[in-house]
Amino acid sequence: MAEHEGSNAEQIAKEFKEHSVAEFFKKNMQMLGLTGKIKTLTTIVHEYVTNSLDACEEAKILPDIEVQLKELGAEYYEVTVKDNGPGLTKETVGKALGQLLAGTKFHRMMQMRGQQGIGAAGCTMLSQITTGKATEVITGTGKGPALSLEVTIDPKKNQPKIVNLHELKSEFKGTAIKAKFKGVKYVNSEQAPLEYLRRTAIANPHAKITLIEPSKKKIVFNRTVKEIPRKPTEMKPHPKGVNVDEVISLSKYSDTKKVSSFLKSAFDRVGDKAIEQIAKNITFDINIDPKQLTWEESEEIVKQFKKINFIAPRTDGLIPIGEDRIQKSLNGIVKPEFLSVVTRKPTVYSGGFPFQVEVGIAYGGEAGRGNAVNPDGEAERKMEIMRFANRAPLLFDTGGCAITRAVQSIDWKRYGVKDYENAPITIFVNLISVHIPYTSAGKQAISDEDEIMEELRLALMDSGRKAGAYIAGKKKEQERKMKKELFYKYIPETAWAIEAITKQSRKTLEKNLEKLVLEKLKLEDEEDEAQEIKKEIAKTSADTKKKAKENEDYSEEEQEEEEEEEN
């Protein structure tokens, strides 16, 4: 009986194990970002492209990535992504494409593009369960023959299964992955691969990205800078930013013998003074083996962490794109009339997480969403917000994101943008952090931490002011043009009449009247400028006086606000 029961239980366990990976995958598709036919296709493209970008960056190669989408049938597509990266070996192919959750990115305090759900292996799995087909790979390191193979995942073992492996005669450096998917769809919308790649190109100006659409139309986003970004460095977690669970898991990997030395080595900014203070206030011996730490003891440590005034975390591990590169990139891809970019200094949220905000405001040209149509049926550009977290575009869950809310919280009218939602404006926002506070596991929206909101607002106001000055200048220019046209309209008849009476040359009169009008308008411009300089001087001196009066706690935000009011 027992044996029988045992075999039954074993059977159940075996079955569970066989199905577990695939089942888990299917059941959690939603959580993994695989909802909707359009979004799923974008997620697939994202996984492959992110891998390519990361691999190139790691190998210090300027990425050249080509994405090709082919429609094979109704909601049935083939995705091919080809890069010029370092290539994969037989072993690494299996890990990268044939094993779920095999990434090396977990539990690392490092600024990363970040997976948005499934990873490239997830794509292999998705292809497998929707089409029954293997993922084809050609990869080469540039040394020796390239490999051609097909990979699937053994759902029982969560292990790669590689078939049709053979060496190619030609050399090849890079990786090309081809996979087929059902239940996906290609359209041209803001959440589709084209927009995803456009934004990826903007945030990665060192990459050249090509898309070949199902219609065979080829769209190329050219490289605008030639330097490869610095590799982010790994940073120890700051004591203000850890929870009990993290303390325990870190303690398990520690080589140290005492909790005191574990705390000093595993966390940023923890020194002897802090250890002294912790030792005094905990109920257990700080010299015990860290591997023995209980949940309750860890709780005590976290509690002490909260009480101690640590120096703010190091921020040098953050790699912004940089004002200069964002400029080049937006100029190359959005081709605006005017662009203002601000990279803020790094700072910290929740006491323990370094982060940094970059904002670019592009106006005119191809800025704004281009596919909007006004009531007269004419194409009309509307404001678009391009959200990025560590350079990776966030396309979904727009309304729930701190970036969107920060944009909405700005009074754009102050900057001369009357109806900002219907203006040809692209607002680029990149949030960089070792730990992006996403609102949910879908990783598509950033939660509105106070410090993040404030930094976002300051950056938006700063570049908004510059953009506003440009827009105001443009308006003035238009007014000037209108005035000129108005005067010019009356010149021919005036000259005709004077000629009729005086017999003086109409042509000379016309020419001289035009000259007079131009000189008058130029004079007006100069007067306007003088007026503005006067205002600026008055404002600056008022500010200086005010600043002298205020105490040091006067926050930058308040200052900005008051300057606004004076304008």
Partner 1 sequence: MAKEKKPKKTRSTTETPEAIAQRIEEMAGNIAKEINSNQDPTFSTQQRGRNNVEFDEDKGLLMLGDKVTSRNFLNIGHAKKFMQTMMVSAKTHNYLKQNKTASIREVYYELKHTLGKSKENTFEDQTESDACIVDLEHSVNTIREKLNLHANPKGTLYGDIILRDRKHNNDEFNAAKLGRGGWSIMSRIEPEEIEIVKVNAEYILVIETEAMYERLVEENFAKKNKAILISTGGQAARGTRRLIQRLHSEGKLPVYIFTDGDPYGWYIYSVVKQGSMALAAHSNFLAVPDAKYIGMTLEDVEDFGLQNVTEKMKDGDVKRAKEMLAYPWFQNKEWQEELKKAIKEKIRIEQQALANKSLSFVADEYLPKKIKKKDFLP
Binding footprint of partner 1 on the chain (CB under 8 A): 483, 486-487, 489-490, 492-494, 496-498, 500-502, 504, 508-509, 512-513, 515-517, 519-520
State which residue, 147 or 517, has the beta carbon closest to partner 1.
517
- Residue among 193, 46, 41 at smallest CA distance from 120: 46
State which residue, 60 or 507, has the beta carbon closest to partner 1.
507
State which residue, 526 or 557, has the beta carbon closest to partner 1.
526
Q: For the CB of residue 517, give the shortest distance to partner 1 in the complex, in Å.
A: 7
**Half-sphere exposure in the Cβ direction for 107 (13 Å, CA):** 13
Cβ neighbours of residue 90 under 8 Å, at least 6 residues apart? 147, 149, 162, 165
Q: For the CB of residue 514, give the shortest distance to partner 1 in the complex, in Å.
A: 10
- Residue among 280, 279, 255, 273 at smallest CA distance from 265: 255
Q: For the CB of residue 528, give the shortest distance to partner 1 in the complex, in Å.
A: 15
Q: For the CB of residue 521, give the shortest distance to partner 1 in the complex, in Å.
A: 9
State which residue, 310 or 487, has the beta carbon closest to partner 1.
487
Residue 327's φ and ψ, nearest 5 degrees, are: -55, -55
Q: For the CB of residue 512, give the shortest distance to partner 1 in the complex, in Å.
A: 5
Q: CA–CA separation, 300 vs 285, rounded Å?
A: 12
Residue 143, Cα to own-chain centre: how many angstroms?
A: 34
Q: For the CB of residue 533, give the shortest distance to partner 1 in the complex, in Å.
A: 24
User: What HEC string does 312-380 produce?
Assistant: CCCCCCCCCCCHHHHHHHHHHHCCCCEEEEEECCCEEECCCEEEEEEEEEEECCCCCEEEEECCCCCEE
Amino acid 12 reads: I
State which residue, 344 or 484, has the beta carbon closest to partner 1.
484
Q: For the CB of residue 416, give the shortest distance to partner 1 in the complex, in Å.
A: 22
Q: For the CB of residue 526, give the shortest distance to partner 1 in the complex, in Å.
A: 15
State which residue, 201 or 513, has the beta carbon closest to partner 1.
513
Rounded to 10 degrees, what is the CA torsion of 39, 40, 42, 47? 140
Q: For the CB of residue 475, give the shortest distance to partner 1 in the complex, in Å.
A: 17
DSSP 217-234: -EEEE-----SPPPPPPP
Helix 450-502 to helix 402-409 angle (10° resolution) is: 40
State which residue, 324 or 477, has the beta carbon closest to partner 1.
477
Cβ neighbours of residue 33 under 8 Å, at least 6 residues apart? 39, 40, 43, 116, 117, 118, 396, 442, 443, 444
Q: For the CB of residue 483, give the shortest distance to partner 1 in the complex, in Å.
A: 6
DSSP 181-204: EES-----STTSHHHHHHHHHHH-
DSSP 310: P
Q: For the CB of residue 418, give the shortest distance to partner 1 in the complex, in Å.
A: 23
Helix 119-131 to helix 37-58 angle (10° resolution) is: 140
State which residue, 89 or 512, has the beta carbon closest to partner 1.
512
Q: For the CB of residue 496, give the shortest distance to partner 1 in the complex, in Å.
A: 7
State which residue, 245 or 477, has the beta carbon closest to partner 1.
477
State which residue, 496 or 554, has the beta carbon closest to partner 1.
496
State which residue, 49 or 509, has the beta carbon closest to partner 1.
509
Rounded to 5°, the CA angle 31-34-36 comes to 120
State which residue, 58 or 479, has the beta carbon closest to partner 1.
479
- Residue among 363, 311, 364, 360 at smallest CA distance from 340: 360
Q: CA–CA separation, 255 vs 248, rounded Å?
A: 14
Helix 119-131 to helix 90-98 angle (10° resolution) is: 70
CA distances from 228 to 58, 204, 321, 332 (A): 10, 9, 10, 17
